[in-house]
Amino acid sequence: MKTDEAIKTELQDKRESVTFGADRNKDFSKEPMCLSGRGVTRVFHTGKTTTVAVDHVDFDFHRGELISIVGESGSGKTTLSKMLLGLLEPTEGQIFFKDKPRDISTGQKKKEYWQGIQAIFQDPFSSYNIFHKIDSVLLDCINMRGGKNKSKEEKFAMMKEACSFVNLKFEELTNKYPFELSGGQMQRLMIARIFLLKPDILLADEPTSMIDACSRATILDMLLNLRNETGMTVIFITHDIGLAYYISDSIYIMEHGKFVEAGKAEDVILNPKAPYTKRLISDVPKIHEPWDLSTVG
């Protein structure tokens, strides 16, 4: 049986060997603030039942930083992601975009905000309009970024470059509908959209949970290469604390709508303080020792 110290050393060595990960030594607190929140809360009322899905959370996300928000189902992370995207308004508290109070009070202001923040969702099959061909999906992105007046040849070159970035051939996709692609191809196409849009912030909500392990590594590699190329902030919403550790600069642990622990990835995972964080880490199966199933209900 390995000691805790030996396991920590092994984890650190493995994390350092990940070539597509973040710059482990960079201090992102010196970078400009991209998205932040103070006392952000969301309450749902259903009949006589009141549910506090997100409970007075504070957060600071900086330019170029890769953040993971980790929690089990029902922890509030999906509700928080919807508020970050502007799909839900906070019941209390305030969200700041680039150090200014976020204003999405009108349709036009929402559209302007969405130019700066985009998302990749868990289910690629529900992320597309089934009546729009792939060409239309990519052209919408070019138009949104001010390329409406570009020539047909320029637009074709941009779409070809975006598909090439995610190892797809545009010539094989043109005139097809998204549902004619595999799940992995559709997720790659979502990243091609982000390549064209180049938002300041990318919110990825469990983007690899519905695809096979080989494609999962490829998708993560593409997302992180995109972050490194454009300097965008990436926010991962995930239940996988192992994935969060290997790819993140910062980790926020969420339980019952609250952040119970937050900080640099090494600090949170190697020196956890909250009991919930310790339980999440202990629940990760380890090959080198018998699995403890006592916490499984």
**Cβ partners under 8 Å of residue 106, min gap 6:** none
Least reliable range by pLDDT among 40-44, 117-121, 252-256: 117-121
**Cβ partners under 8 Å of residue 217, min gap 6:** none
- Verdict on whether the full-model pTM lies above 0.85: no
**Does the structure show a pLDDT above 60 at 173?**
yes
Position 216, amino acid: R
From the list 203, 242, 256, 207, the residue with the least C-alpha distance to 74 is 256
Please report whether residue 192 resides in a domain: no
The string of pLDDT tens digits covering residues 175-219 is 999 889 887 888 888 888 988 998 999 998 887 766 666 667 777
Please report whether residue 25 resides in a domain: yes
**Does the structure show a pLDDT above 60 at 133?**
yes
User: What DSSP line would sit under 233-269, residue for residue?
Assistant: EEEEEES-HHHHHHH-SEEEEEETTEEEEEEEHHHHH
Please report whether residue 289 resides in a domain: no
Please report whether residue 104 resides in a domain: yes
Sign of the four-CA dihedral 277, 281, 282, 285: positive
**Cβ partners under 8 Å of residue 245, min gap 6:** 11, 15, 251, 265, 269
Contact 260, 94 (CB under 8 A): no
Phi-psi region of 98 (alpha: psi -120 to 50; beta: other; left: phi over 0): left
Q: Which domain holds residue 45?
A: 18-116+199-282
Task: Give, in degrees to the nearest 5, the angle at Cα 186 between 181 and 251.
Answer: 155
Please report whether residue 10 resides in a domain: no
Least reliable range by pLDDT among 217-226, 247-256, 259-268, 284-293: 284-293
* pLDDT in the model for residue 289: 59
**Count of domains forming the chain:** 1
CATH code: domain of residue 222 = 3.40.50.300
The string of pLDDT tens digits covering residues 271-296 is 999 999 999 988 776 655 565 566 55
Please report whether residue 152 resides in a domain: no
Render the burial of 42-52: b for 16+ CB within 10 Å, e for the rest.
beeeeeeeeeb
Nearest-angstrom CA–CA distance, 224 and 21: 7
Residue corresponding to tokens 């990960």: 21
Nearest-angstrom CA–CA distance, 274 and 258: 12
* pLDDT in the model for residue 123: 75
Please report whether residue 179 resides in a domain: no
Mean pLDDT of the chain: 85
pLDDT band, residue 4 (cuts 50/70/90): low
**Cβ partners under 8 Å of residue 24, min gap 6:** 15, 16, 266
Tokens read off for 23: 């710059």
Please report whether residue 8 resides in a domain: no
Distances (CA, A) of 128 to 37, 51, 87, 112: 30, 31, 17, 21
